[in-house]
Structure 1
Amino acid sequence: MANDGAAFPGAAGFFDEAVDQQGHIRNHYRPVQEWFDRLTSAQVKALEERGNESFLRRGITFTVYGGEEGTERAWPMDLYPRIIEAGEWSIIERGLIQRVTALNRFLDDIYTGEQAVIHDGIVPRHLITSSTGFEREAMNVQVARGARCLVAGIDLVRGTNGGYRILEDNLRNPSGISYVLENRAAMTKLLPAAFSDLAVRSVNHYGRSLLRALRSIAPPASGNDPTVVVLTPGIFNSAYFEHAFLARSMGVELVEGRDLVVDNHMVAMRTTRGLERVDIIYRRIDDSFLDPVVFNPLSTLGVPGLMAAVRAGQVSIANSVGNGVGDDKAVYAYVPDMIRYYLGEDPIIPNVTTYLLWEPEQRAEVLERLGELVIKPVAESGGYGIVIGPKATEAQLDEVKEKIMSDPRNWIAQEVVNLSRLPAWAGDGFAPRHIDLRPFVLSGEQVEVIPGGLTRVALREGSLIVNSSQGGGSKDTWVLDDSNKPVEAPS
């Protein structure tokens, strides 16, 4: 198959993960590239179809609402893996541990501390209290080990010079880890020979690591064998597969709100043996639906009285209520300052250059450059509401300008990052497509970064939107452990 370096020439303005500027395959990609070179297009297509059929048969799907093709689709996995060298990964790992540690300290400071970050002028008070993710019900609710964000998904991008940057933080209910594990399982079956020349770090321990982290925040009354459950909104939720997968991988019960009751501030689940105490809830329900007593009274998804049980210290939930203030895209701009403030360190991985549109001077500059920037609503996820200036029409730019002027707090602007590229299957051959990376970070007795993460790929030619809900797919991410050579941190 004609897939040598010349097939994926490096392009000006993009960093190519697999190909250098001379058009040669990078050394750590060479074994995989040589393996694909031995396949015909028909063979690659057959492997892709086998993968899709396997995902559908096992219920590994993703739901897209409003699409003409229906809502249930096989999880889109591209066969060409992303490969990260050991030295490069060590820098990413240290940067993520640093960032999540600072964010946990920020959340604990805001909700149970002295709000020193506000009093010392690091983050403006109005920015926090006006965030839709800030929850007053979380005030003075203690969390063991300060692990308010027990599971974090941090989105990384790689710019033109190859340097990594943090694009956004996901601190509430970050999804995607089940697809990381299922991608790996699929790749080991579809392309077993491709692993033969590379020592790839395993991700199969995630269930054990998550369970250990959850048990580390158990309330004191739970004893030595605390009971953990995964709380799901139910089968109609787009991420239900992941909820069931995580419960199964940890060996714990998957429950819905109707399966739980609160009595005298103690949470119990209904079983065939009667009520059984629950000590830790890994919830996959948004704050507003979690407890109809204190949040949305119309919610049938949550558990009445749950927050009172949490406040009484009889049950722990992860992630904590109110984490949304930490991944507000306007608060994101202050995370480098949080790292310096709480840890006394410079950020290992920088942010993307960000403009806060509630500040008059920054807003005026952005409005002059709308066609050059990426405009984002601060509280949306899944790629919704984003306007990429260089690709937008005049009508789209006029519309977002009106929205900014009417509610500047709700918007930020960022410099365009020309996402790095990697070959992806385009139906009849491989072609370069843009990618990002979402590693997952667990905060328990120690902070642990799962090797690799979810590499998302924009399968549409020229697209910079990698979200599956917007036509993106995914790749298996291989972190190598066979190199101890130091790597300089990219600028």
Structure 2
Amino acid sequence: MNKNTPLFATYSCNTKLLDEVFDSKGSIREVYKTIFDLYKEHSIVDFETLNDYAKTSFFNQGITFQVYGNNETKEKIFPFDLFPRIIDHKEWEHIEQGVLQRSKALNLFLEDLYHDQNIIKEGIVPKSLIESSANYLKEMKGFNPPGGIYNHISGTDLIKHADGNYYVLEDNIRCPSGVSYVICNRTALKRALFGVFDKYKIHTVNDYSQNLLEILETVKPKGVDKPNCVVLTPGVFNSAYYEHSYLAKGMGVELVEGRDLFVEDNFVYMKTINGPKKVDVIYRRIDDAFIDPEVFNPDSVLGVPGLFKAYKAGNVCLANAPGTGVADDKAIYTYMPAIIKYYLNEEPILKNVHTYHCSRKEDLDYVLNNVHNLVIKPVDEAGGYGIHIGNKLSKKEIEEVKAIILKTPRKYIAQPIMSLSVHSTYIEAEKSFEPRHVDLRTFTLLGKDKSYVLKSGLTRVALKRGNLVVNSSQGGGSKDTWVLKK
């Protein structure tokens, strides 16, 4: 390829897929025309230089993630594509209303599960499904978290289907990650191509940390005037450690590990050079099992002995609340339309992907007979691990997947193979732009009488041709996501 070849000269549209940048006739969509004209002024060589600059920026900022393999752990620079995704204000209003609706419904669902369980008594959600969930904590029964909030931070994963509609793939309300990459993507793009921002009116992403702090302060324990908030991290070897440190810095609060905290008389204190300092709100990025060795995993060295007792005494707030994972179990996802209707008396704003849960006999029978047309997912995994895409499997592999499902049907769901939209993405190996599948993780914050949705999101890109799994742990990258102002 000639070094002066225009960036999009070899771009090929697939008419069977929804391309967000080009229409079915191969013409650039209206919202992208301005930025397309700016980008096409660059040659391949120019763009390679800019791309290398962006990677250097990420490296210098320490924007990395870790991939866990069978024999080793690798730390990698987060792959970033310089061509942004643009969402107009009308489309975004629909998304924002939908994710906020789901977050509110999930919070009410959690409150009910740990108290009266009316939704179970009325036969809408099976009791067996809740009690068999590894993330249902009996220790939370009857407890009222500060401010009445369980899922302070929610990450909702969406796809745009070939029919033009957005569908929710899953809800993440344990320790959803990725928001720091949203903010850093914006910074990297501004540094590499600052001029493009003069042509569009885009919502900022730099207000997230401040809104997160304000949300956390609304759920302070009773009797506390100005709460002391901290971010609790498992440590530097965690795959999302960069994000933990980034958010702590952005909020202006301390980043702590379990060894930095202790409990005395059911109050939590942080060790400082000036003596103990009481802690009121903990944004914890540690899984339930590891937060307190006295109550959960006794071998945990990541948590704080006595922390859960202090929490139950109402002297500290944990965000997100322990036990929220029962509601983002992928088996519960099947019931989300009914959950929204039950608690809010509203129809879901965002659609669910039709889901088969293998614990139900009729669903199991269908899945076993149609693995080749389905995506099989474990209900309790994250990062794209354990997913099997039926049309990519050999006959032998299909039989192996069937055997795995039959061994523990409760652990698996199945969904049709959805046609994710594609977006123009620069592929380094090909030195050209090509269509690649994308999804979108949005971030919603809930506090006492306050809520916030980040007007952007983490657009994740499956960098391998034809791949539908976008997670960074599976070789995916990301884009800056622009939400346009009115």
Which interval holds the TM-score relative to the shorter structure?
over 0.9
Does 2:334 match 1:330?
no
CA separation in 2, counterparts of 1:314 and 1:44? 54
- Tell me the SS of whatever aligns to 1:221: coil
In the alignment, which residue of structure 2 is the partner of 1:485? Answer: none
In the alignment, which residue of structure 1 is the partner of 2:133? Answer: 131
CA separation in 2, counterparts of 1:432 and 1:305? 52
In the alignment, which residue of structure 2 is the partner of 1:146? Answer: 148
2:215–2:451 contact (8 Å) kept in structure 1: no
Q: What pairs up with 1:439-450 in 2 under 5 angstroms?
A: 439-444=442-447, 445-450=449-454
Q: Find the partner of 2:433 among 423, 430, 434.
A: 430
2:7–2:43 contact (8 Å) kept in structure 1: no
CA separation in 2, counterparts of 1:68 and 1:56? 25
Q: What pairs up with 1:334-353 in 2 under 5 angstroms?
A: 334-353=335-354
- The CA deviation at 1:189 is 1.0
Uncovered stretches (5+) of structure 1, i.e. residues with no partner? 483-491
In the alignment, which residue of structure 2 is the partner of 1:161? Answer: 163
- Tell me the SS of whatever aligns to 1:376: strand
Report sequence identity in percent.
47
- The CA deviation at 1:3 is 4.4
In the alignment, which residue of structure 1 is the partner of 2:243? Answer: 242
CA separation in 2, counterparts of 1:207 and 1:214? 11
CA separation in 1, counterparts of 2:150 and 2:375? 30
TM-score using structure 1 length? 0.96
In the alignment, which residue of structure 2 is the partner of 1:278? Answer: 279
Q: What pairs up with 1:38-437 in 2 under 5 angstroms?
A: 38-66=41-69, 71-111=74-114, 113-223=115-225, 225-427=226-428, 428-437=431-440
Q: Deviations over 1:159-209 (max 9, x none)?
A: 111110000000000000000000011111111111121101001001100
The verdict on how the C-alpha distance between 1:79 and 1:430 changes in structure 2, with shifts beyond 3 A counting, is same
The alignment of Structure 1 onto Structure 2 pairs a total of residues equal to 479
RMSD of aligned C-alpha atoms?
Answer: 1.3
- The CA deviation at 1:9 is 4.6
1:141–1:310 contact (8 Å) kept in structure 2: no
- Tell me the SS of whatever aligns to 2:473: helix
- Tell me the SS of whatever aligns to 1:330: helix
Q: Deviations over 1:40-65 (max 9, x none)?
A: 10111111111111111221111112
What amino acid sits opposite 2:224 in the alignment? S
1:9–1:21 contact (8 Å) kept in structure 2: no
- The CA deviation at 1:470 is 0.3
- The CA deviation at 1:68 is 9.1
CA separation in 2, counterparts of 1:25 and 1:443? 38
In the alignment, which residue of structure 2 is the partner of 1:475? Answer: 479
What amino acid sits opposite 1:285 in the alignment? I
CA separation in 2, counterparts of 1:7 and 1:417? 26
TM-score using structure 2 length? 0.97
- Tell me the SS of whatever aligns to 1:267: strand
Q: Find the partner of 1:37 among 27, 36, 40.
A: 40
1:8–1:19 contact (8 Å) kept in structure 2: no
- The CA deviation at 1:232 is 0.4
1:221–1:314 contact (8 Å) kept in structure 2: no
1:3–1:33 contact (8 Å) kept in structure 2: no
In the alignment, which residue of structure 1 is the partner of 2:470? Answer: 466
- Tell me the SS of whatever aligns to 2:223: helix
- Tell me the SS of whatever aligns to 2:180: helix
- The CA deviation at 1:446 is 2.1
CA separation in 1, counterparts of 2:286 and 2:466? 34
